[in-house]
A and B are shown apart, each in its own frame.
Chain A
Amino acid sequence: MTFSWTYFIGLFPQLIKYIPLSLFMAVVAMLIAVIVGGLLTLVQLYAAKPFQLLVKLYVSFFRGVPTLVLLFIVYYGLPEISPTFKGISALTAAIAGLGVKQSAYLIEIFRAGITSVDEGQIEAGETLNFSFTRIFLSIILPQAALNALPATGNTFVSLLKETSLAFTLGVTEIFADGKLLASASLRFFEVYVAVGLIYWVMIIIYTWAQKYVEDLLSKPYRRVVANVVDSDQQSSSAI
């Protein structure tokens, strides 16, 4: 069988219909992860020792368990032990599982973002008699968020790719749809290359957007480059 360009190109209108679902899973899982991860970061940094240890355990567990196993625990396992989870949809289970796992990674990133804020910034707030909440919200958090943004954004890339695992729970997303198409046409190569390309393009666009936002937010923290370049040129032309 040779590579069929017509078949290959014809796949895209069908496959891109599932982009919104994959993005939806990734974005909602990310929101859950940011909220849960953010709160647990505060616990790990500022709460009593036993609570800090619990968060450590949480991070260690969810980083250690393969995502696929975690999704199976949520979807097939939890309903067995608790009626609350009976009838949980595959989509909800996938989002919850991915979100929880993602939060474990974010806790590490958020913590590093907060602890890398210069101690002097906090002392300045203290000597000016700000409350700790005020120092945290107005000084630490904005600087920590900027510190943490690149690493946080990078984990979103992995998350978006991992949404393809939702097919194992029976969620029909891009990958699952590709599988169906491939087994009907038996043109596996064309289908999976097309699926791969779609993820790739989504991630290129996302990476570009992230870079744009980072540049925008870090503006206050950068010296004006143009002046430096100017004076360099002047000094070199003077020589």
Chain B
Amino acid sequence: MSLIQISNLAVQFSQHKVLKNIDLTFEEGSVTAIVGPSGSGKTTLLRTLNLLQSPSEGTVTVAGITVDAKHISKADVHKIRSQSTMVFQQFNLFKNLTALENVMSPLIYNKLAGFDEAKAIALKVLSDFGLESIADQYPVTLSGGQSQRVSIARAIVAKPKVVLFDEPTSALDPEMVSDVLTTIAQLAQQHITMVIVTHEIEFARQIANNAIFVENGEVIAQGPANKILSTKGTGRIADFVNSLENRVISTPQQTNTSEVVTPRFRLLQSGAN
């Protein structure tokens, strides 16, 4: 059975149906990219997977726990969230806690570890991400890239099966993007099931197994990432993918006259050489 299943899902805000007739499955350990135009419902879809948004029709199943739009049980929502965590575009680090305390918080507040153990685990994750030097800093003193990597550390510290990313790099200055993408690529190799809403099409092609194209609240296409995200085809999806590709090339740090194109991220290929 798939790790995540959505069937006949719809989400409605007052009169407006933002998602309709969504049927999707996500396999354990897979990486799925969600792409689509602005306002198409990508964020809403991701939030619904974590029940931050309640569905108005249909069911969401994560790791064997099913939540039905007709009767959403709080306990089941908690069970799903214990297996799945979201990383936000705006990081949402707890402002009153240091980077380290932020990363410790899921362990401590969910009583998964005592203070000393939580601290050791959190420090380990921070140092895996190369962030040990900023452990005692408060979020306001961190750069966007550091903040997002701390928030990813916080999302994975309790070892959830699923991590959901909502445009994790679109609030970042261009020079910070590659650090965060590298961190996410690192996770892709750890058998964490990931669903990523992103406009970083090159990145998505490289780390995602599958891709989903969303438009007007509906899934228009799904399949292998290299096929869906290909620039070669014709039609709306290829046009959209091409428009993203062009957008990336025109980002500020690459408009200078220098011909050197810096890679947007580095895939860590441990043991591959």
**Chain A positions near chain B (C-beta within 8 angstroms):** 118, 120-121, 123-130, 134, 138-139, 142-143, 146, 220-224
Contacts and interface: CB of A to CB of B under 8 A. Distances in A.
B195 interface: no
A76 to B, nearest CB: 46
Given A121-B95, A123-B88, 11 more contacts: A118-B95, A124-B151, A127-B50, A127-B52, A127-B81, A127-B86, A128-B81, A128-B109, A130-B105, A139-B94, A220-B140
A4 to B, nearest CB: 55
A222 B142 CA distance: 11
A129 B92 contact: no
B17 interface: no
Contacts of B81: 126-129
Contact of B138 (A130, A138, A221): A221
B211 interface: no
B141 A128 contact: no
Interface string B135-166: 00010110000000001001100100000000
B104 to A, nearest CB: 11
Contacts of A221: 95-96, 138, 140
Contacts of A143: 95-96
A37 to B, nearest CB: 22
Nearest to A140: B96
A222 B140 contact: yes
B90 interface: yes
A128 B105 contact: yes
B82 A124 contact: no
A128 B106 contact: yes
24 contacts: A118-B92, A118-B95, A120-B90, A120-B92, A121-B92, A121-B95, A123-B92, A124-B92, A124-B94, A125-B94, A127-B52, A128-B81, A128-B85, A128-B105, A128-B106, A129-B78, A129-B82, A129-B85, A139-B96, A142-B96, A220-B95, A220-B140, A223-B140, A224-B141
Interface residues of B, number: 26
A213 to B, nearest CB: 16
Q: Which among B52, B82, B86, B96 has the highest number of chain A CB atoms within 10 Å? A: B96
Contacts of B109: 128, 130, 134, 138
Most chain A beta carbons < 10 A, residue from B82, B93, B141: B141
A124 B93 contact: yes
Nearest to A120: B92
A128 B88 CA distance: 12
Given A129-B78, A134-B109, A220 B138 contact: yes
Interface in B41-83: 50, 52, 78, 81-82
A111 to B, nearest CB: 19
Task: Indicate the member of B92, B98, B105, B154 with the most A CB atoms within 10 Å.
Answer: B92
A129 to B, nearest CB: 4
A121 B140 CA distance: 14
Central interface residue in A118, A124, A146, A223, by most chain B CB within 10 Å: A124
B121 to A, nearest CB: 15
Contacts of A146: 96
Contacts of A222: 140
A146 B140 CA distance: 15
